[in-house]
Copies of this chain bind each other. A is one copy, B any other.
């Protein structure tokens, strides 16, 4: 438990920072489950088992805390994706296949979404940030596309025959496939399929997504 918290929260060195970490984790969890506007500072501090005023003491404000969680998780996810893309590029001698590029895009958030992962909730937080995020978050999502530019460039190298416009659209579609992996959408799909789709089986889901998206990129 302490280890899990240590991995999930920012540098919990002394007993003092334990409070900060508890607030961070409780906030991420509640925000991911119930939405940003439906969770109050009182809810967070109660869940964390700390005093009401400690949130403002450690983070300044509710919005600043929200942004801190968003920033940290975004950086972590981008880094994992960039590392996978870099490795795939190296393995392929500079020109990875479309499937390898897509795997670098899909695998990190899917690995987080594993029921056994302590990042399971972080994915849901980031997905919420896309639609419910505050203005500073939207600014980051809007302007910081450098992380995606590497993927667009790799796709151009892999498929120089495709029109750039088509390529960007297909990247957009692939991203849409990931962004739809919210708890509520999984539940809806389970309800529709009568329980056939088991989103807990991450390797199977990754294969399904790669099969679909790779074929989509191969369309004429």
Stretch of A65-73, A115-123, A128-136 contacting B (4+ beta carbons < 8 Å): A128-136
Contact B187 A142 (CB under 8 A): yes
Cross-chain pairs A/B with CB under 8 angstroms, 9 sampled: A168-B197, A169-B197, A169-B205, A169-B209, A172-B189, A176-B176, A176-B178, A212-B216, A215-B215
CB distance from A8 to the nearest CB of B (A): 23
**Secondary structure at chain A's binding surface: helix, strand, loop or mixed?**
helix
Q: Which of A38, A178, A209 has the most CB of B within 10 A?
A: A209
* A62: Cβ under 8 A from any B Cβ: no
Stoichiometry (number of copies): 2
- Considering the chains assembled together, what is the distance between the CA atoms of A188 and B131 in angstroms? 13
Chain B's closest residue to A149 (CB) is B192
Residues 19-35 of chain A: 1 if any B CB is under 8 Å from the residue's CB, otherwise 0? 00000000000000001
Q: Apart from A164-B196, A173-B208, A173-B212, what are 18 other A-B pairs with CB-CB below 8 Å? A: A35-B131, A37-B38, A131-B184, A138-B184, A145-B188, A152-B193, A164-B193, A165-B193, A169-B205, A171-B192, A172-B189, A172-B197, A175-B185, A176-B177, A211-B220, A212-B217, A213-B216, A216-B216
